[in-house]
């Protein structure tokens, strides 16, 4: 095991005598932050109507990222800290592979995708903070190593990078069709489409 990864884990984890209120906060984030993340996505869908097509694609992409993360974790089958006896597990969790963290993959992906859109960046910052705190929390409660969280972030960056590149290619290399009303690509209706920044 990487010595730096293990040293960071020992520094961040709750250990055998956690501070009760810190453990309570960490457990809450470790268990429920994904639902809070989904709530922020739902709020964005309600508040930002011009971005709804983009947000629906991002939600679908998050689902695919979750499947990819699970598949990689199953193939690598890296044990979790509590399975190695390095720390107690303070939340119930299965013993399946831990690298990369699916929570980190999906939550960082959503944050990065929001940060790509000017109109969604405030929520993107909130999602980024939530993803980082959740990463810490899942290490603290003993179900992930820091490397698992970092791998989830890297996977999210890779998927978001491909997504951003696809948008750029569509915007710059493919012709835009005029609408049935004869409007051009500079029209406001076209400007708010999924592939372009409003």
pLDDT in tens, 4-40: 889 988 888 888 788 899 999 999 999 999 999 999 9
Residue 1 has pLDDT above 70, yes or no: no
Cis link prior to 100 (omega < 30° from 0)?
A: yes
Length of the chain: 198
For residues 169-187, average pLDDT: 57
For residues 147-162, average pLDDT: 95
Q: If you average pLDDT over every residue of the chain, what do you get?
A: 86
pLDDT in tens, 64-98: 999 999 999 999 989 888 888 888 888 887 778 88
| pTM for this model (two decimals) | 0.84
Say what the pLDDT of residue 107 is: 96
Q: Are 33 and 130 in contact (CB under 8 A)?
A: yes
Q: Comparing 48 with 172, which gets the higher pLDDT?
A: 48
């Amino acid at each position: 095991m990487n010595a730096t990864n293990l040293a960071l884990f020992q520094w961040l984890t709750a250990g055998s005598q956690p501070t009760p209120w810190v453990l309570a906060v960490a457990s809450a984030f470790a268990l429920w932050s994904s639902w809070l993340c989904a709530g922020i996505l739902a709020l964005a869908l309600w508040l930002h109507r011009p971005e709804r097509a983009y947000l629906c694609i991002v939600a679908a992409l998050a689902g695919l990222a979750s499947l990819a993360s699970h598949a990689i974790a199953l193939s690598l089958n890296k044990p979790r800290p509590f399975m190695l006896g390095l720390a107690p597990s303070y939340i119930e969790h299965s013993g399946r592979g831990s690298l990369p963290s699916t929570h980190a993959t999906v939550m960082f992906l959503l944050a990065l995708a929001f940060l790509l859109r000017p109109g969604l960046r405030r929520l993107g910052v909130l999602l980024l903070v939530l993803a980082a705190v959740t990463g810490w929390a899942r290490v603290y409660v003993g179900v992930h190593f820091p490397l698992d969280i970092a791998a989830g972030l890297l996977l999210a960056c890779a998927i978001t990078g491909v997504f951003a590149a696809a948008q750029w290619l569509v915007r710059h290399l493919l012709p835009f069709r005029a609408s049935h009303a004869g409007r051009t690509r500079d029209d406001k209706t076209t400007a708010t489409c999924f592939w372009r920044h409003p």
